[in-house]
Amino acid sequence: MGLIQNILAVIVVLGLLVTFHEFGHFWVARRCGVKVLRFSVGFGKPLWSRTDRHGTEYAVAAIPLGGYVKMLDEREAPVLDEELKYAFNRKNVWQRVAIVAAGPLANFLLAIVAYWALFVAGMSTVAPLVGDVASGSPAEQAGLEHGAEIVAIEDEPVRAWDEINLKLVSLIGHNGELSIEARPENASASQRYTLPVDDYLVRQEPPQPLQSLGISPWRPDFPAVLGQVMDGEAAAAAGLRSGDRIVAVEGEPVDDWMAFVNVVRGNAGEMLDVRIERDGSEQTVSLTPGRNTLESGIEVGYIGAGVEPVEWPEELRREIRYGPVEAVGQAFNKTGEMVMLTLDAIRKMLVGLISPSNLSGPITIAQISGDSARAGMEAFVGFLAYLSISLGVLNLLPIPVLDGGHLLYYLVEIVRGRPVSEQAQAIGLRIGLAMVGTLMMMALYFDLMRLW
């Protein structure tokens, strides 16, 4: 069932992103007087199509991993004399720039609308309180203590852990001192803590911004009570059910959920006698955790079960909400912040500060799409906005084949006063295809490594 949900979620996500991207090209092309021959969502054989009064065919194709807008163009096929004025290649350079740039801009607009909707509806979060502080870590050296609420990173206000993580990730490669402002437990005023860092998060796979500083987020105590039990996994095979309380393992009492997790992780493939409480009575079941190998090569046990959710204290709950007008500015700011973060991540990957193994392909996107859909509408819309921004930024990279490559050609044309030669464009096309193909193969390879 999880696999089916992942596939459906990624089809919905990619379908929306591709439709918006191609509609951007389509809408501006129509406004510039270009005849559009086909608007396709997906590649390959059309599963459905219809043609409008302008002669544009709208199609949904079998392979939902992209799409395209095919315009009338003399470079692709002969054009009747009476239709030459509708050909893309006959438009002036500024119109061609507008048509090509409209796709990525449509992705940014989709992200703005998504963030606006989230800000108006309100986003639920919890106060970012420090839990454990690792001994000898930068956080301990700076004097950061359990229970302190983080309110700013490098003088930028933060309200939730996701904002903190994004800010810390943007500091990859930072050397010297990292400034954190936090309000100690039971204190009314905040204090500044200076954490020593050296090549912060450089080539870490994957980056662990909080753990690298020695900070663990505070969490309420989670009793060892099962919530979700996945079909076909070790917990289900042992007969465990949602609502079962773990009392003891191999005769040793289990205090909380993390204590049970630690036992499971340390006993991959080993049969365990687990004492549980169910409907007021106790019984013993035999549980054999499965084996899972982490990226570091360490083998750990897992059983395919999750903890029963626990309510957070009301005083730690936060809701980020804005009025419809104020939310517009916030949505633009959020989108701009994510665009700059994405560009900075690409730059740092090119100079070696971020490992290429952090590239994600269709498998990872499908997994995250499914996870975000199961987590609720707020998580799903947030992921949709982030992926739309990523698609927009990547398409603007100056690589032939991508929109950014075409824009680069048009920029050269504006400067030189004449188009780039077809021979040069053909060479660029081959280079661009090789680059994009290599990136796709690398992303798929790292996807498979993460999966295994």
Q: Which long-range contacts link 248-255 to residues 24+ away (Cβ below 8 Å)?
A: 248/274, 248/275, 249/273, 249/274, 249/275, 251/275, 254/224, 255/224
- The catalytically annotated residue of 22, 57, 185, 308 is 22
How many angstroms separate the CA atoms of 4 and 391, rounded?
24
Residue holding tokens 């994009």?
Answer: 436
DSSP 288-301: --EEEE-TTS-EEE
Residue holding tokens 């079962």?
Answer: 244
Element (H, E) at 276: strand 272-278
Ranges assigned E (strand) in 16-173: 36-51, 57-71, 123-126, 130-133, 149-153, 156-157
How many angstroms separate the CA atoms of 243 and 191, rounded?
42
With CA atoms as reference, report the closest residue to 422 among 400, 438, 395.
Answer: 400
CB 169 within 8 A of CB 209: yes
181 catalytically annotated = no
CB 394 within 8 A of CB 359: no
How many angstroms separate the CA atoms of 271 and 264, rounded?
10
Residues noted as catalytic: 22
